[in-house]
Structure 1
């Protein structure tokens, strides 16, 4: 098993991979980088389009991935720690990263019967978006939609914080004006959060087709999106916390939807 050795950060391929840290080049090439053993395993498990896997030649192929390396079909490349650091933009680089084609998404997931979809309107923090994607995956939601102004799904921090959930459900970027109009035409309920809401999240009926709209960390939903909302709910708070952040709030609401849909006997 003779794998190419890359030792110079001036190598053309290394420069190409490092450029994928920049959204402009991810968009131009249709490729992105995932880091770490777990994400590489998840990518193969999901039959994602893995272009190549790069591992730290000084440490060898991580034990958990050895079988995948023997199976063939994907290029495996050895690199120095310096090359690994250059391509991942981290001071302590992971033992392995992979270059993937951007994921193909199934728009039909949005309009399944009784679909449960999370729509993000200008959510900018990669950790929040990653956590919301994990929560949506955990409750078996159908899809997550990133509206304009939200962080790029393929931002390395977003990818890391999904912990592999980006491979488990449909995630798409879309123009919310068009998409929300289409959802309403199909009879889907659009639900937001508001401190003035009359429904708590526990008195609202989450069992029909519902899209949960979550807004920007400090501004909330944009005015145009807020006008499309059919119903607003409030998460009741007993203690003295002023508020929950957007990822925590989305998780609470998604789990109430799951409880009503699956555990309401």
Structure 2
């Protein structure tokens, strides 16, 4: 096995203490790192060439059987080829996990958020913009839908839950590694986008225009999705060029924000013939 390190069994080990601190946002922000818990997320990060600082696994488990292609592949990407693998005790796995029954492997990943300028490089951009979406599951699902529908980026505005929250990361199911996601002040970024010719489309239950009547084939479209309870904030809603609604013929007050985002992103994909 490549780059196998010595066994760590003590919860007092300085490396373990530093890993466990990443469960808290302030330490993630200070260190520029975050935790990836579980087989699927670690596999996705390795496959995508995401920069990893370390991988820790339960020495008594058979989890490494699921990573043979990553551990021995001499042609592995530059970022993942020399990642240190640490055999650790089950207690350490539990200490560095937020779940009650953690999987026997986790990784320490480095943040690499894209710049705001990267949003404007696509010829036919489709960007999901989140304004105060607070549920980690909703944010993770929207990131997954954005990646699956071919969106070019996801923007998290102020008041939106931390992307690197372990619950949010788990909800992305690895889609985080396949679509650029960045945090920004929407009151600053949206006017910049507008000045560059981007069509900014809000979502509102009070809108008169159906999403199926909106032309998403325009060169660059940004879709804004608001808070679960209150929708778009007043400061952001005034920056939208148009508002659309998802027509509902059945009886429901509204759709969950992640469901609504999925419908709109895939309608845009359909119209664009992707």
Specify the TM-score bucket, using the shorter chain as the normaliser. Answer: over 0.9
- Structure 1 position 108, deviation (Å): 4.1
Q: Quick check: 1:87 aligned with 2:96?
A: yes
**Residues 35-58 of structure 1: CA distance to partner in whole angstroms, max 9, x if unpaired?**
111111111111111111100111
Cα distance between partner residues in 2 of 1:250 and 1:104: 22
- Aligned match of 2:76: none
- Aligned match of 1:137: 147
- Aligned match of 1:62: 64
- Aligned match of 1:155: 165
Cα distance between partner residues in 2 of 1:78 and 1:199: 57
**Unmatched 5+ residue regions in structure 1?**
none
Cα distance between partner residues in 1 of 2:247 and 2:202: 14
Please, what is the CA RMSD of the aligned residues? 1.4
- Structure 1 position 119, deviation (Å): 0.5
Q: Quick check: 1:13 aligned with 2:22?
A: no
Cα distance between partner residues in 2 of 1:4 and 1:42: 25
The partner residue of 1:204 within 207, 214, 224 is 214
Q: What SS class does the counterpart of residue 237 from structure 1 fall into? A: coil
TM-score, normalised to structure 1, is 0.95
Count of equivalent residues:
263
- Aligned match of 1:165: 175
Stretches of 4+ aligned residues off by more than 3 angstroms = 106-109
**Unmatched 5+ residue regions in structure 2?**
74-80
- Aligned match of 2:245: 234
The partner residue of 2:184 within 142, 162, 174 is 174
Cα distance between partner residues in 2 of 1:76 and 1:195: 50
**Residues 201-221 of structure 1: CA distance to partner in whole angstroms, max 9, x if unpaired?**
101111111100011111111
